[in-house]
Amino acid sequence: MHPLFDMDNYIIQTKLLKIFGGTFWFKDLEGNIIAYSKQKAFKLKEDIILYGDTACTQPLLQIKARQMLDLSATYDVFDLTTSEHIGSVKRKFLKSIIKDSWKLLDVNGNQYGELVEDSIAILRRFIPLIPAKFHFAIPGHDGITIHQQFNPLIKKSLLTIPPGHPMDRRMVAAITLLNSAIEGRQN
């Protein structure tokens, strides 16, 4: 298994001001790149791949939208090392107008939790200086958080997972990447 999926803390970084597509770096707390993703611009149907290297030779995860241009789309997550479908994420569009919110779904489509914004999304869209904060709401197993660190040129978010948390770390990485990609288009 890739080292990213054993980590309790890491940073996901992207350029705040970009013209086409998005580039995402997963870094350890010392700043070393441990995973990478480059999102293509002008895609009607989202298809994001997370790689274990910046040369894009080691595909780890794929996040693929089921529909084109759906405001409350469902995204399936696949482990590309095993070709296994490991779960899905569905955006709660109406709720996300005020606070971004995602349903976390198991491989059978059953909801087991949510990713919920703690800050006010509608304010952040108009005042980009307000950092985003999210938490994973999983009954009996809360504690995973994403805290954006303010920087006018580079968007960095610190992901923290309590040691021993039972959520699949591959899903945590995929959801964090998807949320960063979608959020980047909204700003």
Confidence of residue 68 (pLDDT cuts 50, 70, 90): confident
The CATH number of whichever domain residue 91 belongs to comes to 3.20.90
Confidence of residue 85 (pLDDT cuts 50, 70, 90): very high
CB distance 161 to 134 below 8 Å: no
Q: What is the reported pLDDT for 142? A: 80
What three-state secondary structure class fits 55?
coil
Q: What is the reported pLDDT for 101? A: 86
The total number of structural domains that make up the chain:
1
pTM over 0.85: yes
Question: Which residue's entry shows tokens 């002008």?
Answer: 42
- Cβ count within 10 A of residue 180: 22
Altogether, the residues listed in the chain come to a count of 187
Q: What is the reported pLDDT for 135? A: 94
What three-state secondary structure class fits 172?
helix
| Boundaries of domain holding 30 | 3-186
- Amino acid sitting at position 136: F
Confidence of residue 109 (pLDDT cuts 50, 70, 90): very high
